[in-house]
Amino acid sequence: MSYMDLPRLHFAGEFFADPPTYNNTASNYNPASAITPLWNANGTHYFIFQNCTVKRTLNNAGTVSSTSAADALVGGNVEISGTIAAQPKLVDIDTEMQTVSQIWGLELKVSLSSGTNNFTCKMQTATLRDLWSSRAPGGFARGFGGVYQSVLTDITWSPAAGSSTSTVFDQLRTASPTKLSIKFVLYNYEADPAQPKFKFGKIVGTIGPVLAGEPDHLLAARRLEPSGKNATSGIYGGPFGPAPFKVDSARNKLVIDLGNAVPESTPGGSRRSLGTMNAQIFPPPAFTRVILGAIDYSRAHYEETAGIEEVTLTAAQVTQLASVALSIGITGPPPRQVLTERPSITYLDATEIAFRLNPGESKTIELVATELGAPKSTQRLGLRLRAGRTSAGLTFPASVTTGANGKASVTFTASDPGHPRTHIDGQLYFVEFDWGVAALGAAPDHRGNIIVRVFDPHAAVASPTWAHVQAILTEYARLYPMMKGRMDLSDHATVRTNKDSIKTTLSYPETDPRYMPVSRDLSRDKKALIIRWINRGAP
């Protein structure tokens, strides 16, 4: 079960993102260089849902409700909960990699349209996936689209039990009381300061149930792929985006996520005129096209369904899809297939694709492999460091083999990267993973990248003074000028006056929205040094 399953709700609205841009340029880390501010120098890192409401619900039987009279969740708010000080943060992992932005500390409140019932929850840190650079004309950033998938935990239901006025609210609470699945698409983001919607974009999303053992950040089922994916960056550059899907054999339904797959004629506006869009197969022995059903890809429908489309199948078609590839065709002009599964009908992804490590730390993730939507066991999977990086600082196995559940654990262990970047802490590693080698001498089937930032070690100082922490704090003052209006981290007297509040924010868990620095790029050793200095009275 996941956001694709029942019961579920779909929402749409806007988002506000305020990323600072000094840290986008490597030369800005050099204190002797002139600053290049780019387009949003005073950004706060805030990421906020704006004017988001539930547009549609589906109950356990698949019954669709699009009005509050049919289900009281429809028309209800999907909003950020908590105080201004606890707003979620949008953070890049490194100046060398700005396309796996992460959302930290997002806390949501989903209410019935009447406001009488709600649930609050926390989204586990999510990383941007499936970035598509040609969703609409206009280039960066209005023409881009991207996806976040995660889980919602720490759920508080109000009421905790009993009947509300929403069937779907009650069924979600019963089916998945402690953990929900969420997927949302961000698009049409305005990065031009001269525009009235500067720093705003559009969002559509889905919330559904989840079961133990499922990956938190991906749908381990099947996937339609377009042309135009850059294997190095992972960015989709073609006219269509990717589309996960699953076959729900219990309901005879094909469920396709086209949330970030269909191009627009204007950013955030109407869809391109493509003619009729069909889900289709070409089963043997005749390999004659079988149209499974037409798909409504209009803008109004999209904002109600978040792109999650259902096609009713016959029992025979369910059987056929168990062995043949799905594709999406359009009548055009010209008529053509625009999305297809891989010829092998396989899918491979990583449960986490971006994370940070300090020397001596390890992190284990899983590679998840499917074939025809089922776990692919005993499959050898390869991993390798992208050319141009030495292995100093990060070790991992060259290959792993999947178990019966189609998963293979991979442990990454960090050591001293050797301070290869003069002014930037640590090193960034790009680990490519693949489906193994198809035949002797054949190139590996490259599937994706895992991004790991390994911090440099920093020598411990028994009795630190301002001289030992000044350079660390001054760098943050330089890179994040929005802090100057609140606290000048380059000034010793100011920092000493605020030392207790600084220690408090440094001491929160990194997943807490109040954690500082919000950029999550202060190493373990440097943080320990600052806290030790504060504990001495900040001399």
Res 439: pLDDT: 52
Given a contact cutoff of 8 angstroms between Cβ atoms, the answer to whether 306 and 204 are in contact is: yes
Average pLDDT over every residue of 429-435: 94
**Position 171 confidence tier, pLDDT thresholds 50, 70, 90:** very high
Read off the amino acid at residue 480.
Answer: Y
Given a contact cutoff of 8 angstroms between Cβ atoms, the answer to whether 7 and 208 are in contact is: yes
Question: What is the distance between the alpha carbons of residues 137 and 423, in angstroms, rounded to a whole number?
Answer: 37
Residue 13 has pLDDT above 80, yes or no: yes
Average pLDDT over every residue of 280-285: 95
Task: Quick: pLDDT tens for 331-372.
Answer: 999 999 999 999 889 999 999 999 999 999 999 999 999 999
Res 162: pLDDT: 84
Instruction: Tell me the two tokens of residue 413.
Output: 């262990």
Based on its alpha-carbon atoms, the radius of gyration of the chain, rounded to whole angstroms, reads 24
Average pLDDT over every residue of 207-236: 91
Average pLDDT over every residue of 201-214: 93
Residue 216 has, within 13 A of its CA and on its CB side, a CA count of 15
DSSP state, residue 170: H
Q: Calculate the average pLDDT of the chain.
A: 94
Res 441: pLDDT: 55
Task: Quick: pLDDT tens for 124-136.
Answer: 999 999 999 999 9
* Global pTM value: 0.96
Res 1: pLDDT: 66
pLDDT above 90 covers what percent of the chain? Answer: 89
Res 83: pLDDT: 66
**Position 374 confidence tier, pLDDT thresholds 50, 70, 90:** very high
Res 486: pLDDT: 84
Residue 517 has pLDDT above 90, yes or no: yes
Res 85: pLDDT: 64
Res 212: pLDDT: 79
Average pLDDT over every residue of 408-427: 96
Task: Quick: pLDDT tens for 22-63.
Answer: 999 999 999 999 999 899 999 999 999 999 999 999 999 999
End-to-end CA distance of the chain: 55
Residue scoring higher pLDDT (464 or 389): 464
Question: What is the distance between the alpha carbons of residues 480 and 84, in angstroms, rounded to a whole number?
Answer: 19
Res 442: pLDDT: 59
Given a contact cutoff of 8 angstroms between Cβ atoms, the answer to whether 212 and 165 are in contact is: no
- The SS3 call for residue 88 is coil
Residue 437 has pLDDT above 70, yes or no: no
Residue entry with tokens 């056929």: 320
Residue 388 has pLDDT above 80, yes or no: no
Tell me the backbone φ, ψ of residue 314, rounded to 5 degrees: -85, 165
Res 473: pLDDT: 96
Residue entry with tokens 């986008």: 24
Given a contact cutoff of 8 angstroms between Cβ atoms, the answer to whether 341 and 224 are in contact is: yes
Burial 398-437 (b: 16+ CB within 10 A, else e): eebebeeebbbebebbbbebeeebeebbbbbbbbbbbbee
List of domains in the chain: 8-239 (no CATH), 346-454 (2.60.40.10), 466-535 (no CATH)
pLDDT above 70 covers what percent of the chain? Answer: 98
Q: Which of 496, 498, 491 is nearest to 477 (CA)?
A: 491
Question: What is the distance between the alpha carbons of residues 173 and 180, in angstroms, rounded to a whole number?
Answer: 9
Question: What is the distance between the alpha carbons of residues 178 and 448, in angstroms, rounded to a whole number?
Answer: 31
Question: What is the distance between the alpha carbons of residues 444 and 438, in angstroms, rounded to a whole number?
Answer: 7
Question: What is the distance between the alpha carbons of residues 293 and 295, in angstroms, rounded to a whole number?
Answer: 7
Task: Quick: pLDDT tens for 73-126.
Answer: 999 999 998 766 689 999 999 999 999 999 999 999 999 999 989 999 999 999
Q: Are strands 107-111 and 118-123 parallel, antiparallel or unpaired?
A: antiparallel
Instruction: Tell me the two tokens of residue 322.
Output: 């168990």
